[in-house]
Structure 1
Amino acid sequence: MYQELLELFSEHLEKQDQLSKLTESQFLHQHGYSDVHSIDFIGRNKDANVTKLATYLKMTRGAASKIVKRLQAQGLIDVYMKEDNKKEKYYRLTKVGKRIFKEHDKRHQLWIKRDSQFIKQYSAIEIQYIKEFMKDYNQYLEEQIQIITKKD
Structure 2
Amino acid sequence: MYQELLDLLTEHLEKQDQLSKLTESQLLHQYGYSDVHSIDFIGRNEDANVTKLAQYLKMTRGAASKIVKRLQTQGLIDVYMREDNQKEKYYRLTKVGKCVFKEHEKRHQLWIKRDSQFLKNYSAIEIQYIKEFMKDYNHYLEEQIDIITKKD
> Is TM > 0.5 for Structure 1 vs Structure 2?
yes
Displacement after TM superposition at 1:84 (Å):
1.3
Where in structure 2 are the equivalents of 1:30-49 lying within 5 Å?
A: 30-49=30-49
Please report the TM-score for the alignment, with normalisation by the length of structure 1. 0.99
- Corresponding letter in the other structure for 2:13: L
- Corresponding letter in the other structure for 2:47: D
Q: Which runs of 5+ in 1 are unaligned?
A: none
Match of 1:82 in 2: 82
- Corresponding letter in the other structure for 1:94: T
Runs (4+) of structure 1 exceeding 6 A deviation are none
CA distance in 2, matches of 1:144, 1:87: 34
Aligned residues: 152
| 1:146 equivalenced with 2:146 (yes/no) | yes
CA distance in 2, matches of 1:151, 1:99: 38
Cα RMSD for the two superposed structures: 0.4
Q: Which runs of 5+ in 2 are unaligned?
A: none
| 1:127 equivalenced with 2:119 (yes/no) | no
CA distance in 2, matches of 1:94, 1:145: 32
CA distance in 2, matches of 1:13, 1:69: 29
CA distance in 1, matches of 2:78, 2:128: 42
Q: Counterpart of 2:86 in 1: which secondary structure?
A: strand
Please report the TM-score for the alignment, with normalisation by the length of structure 2. 0.99
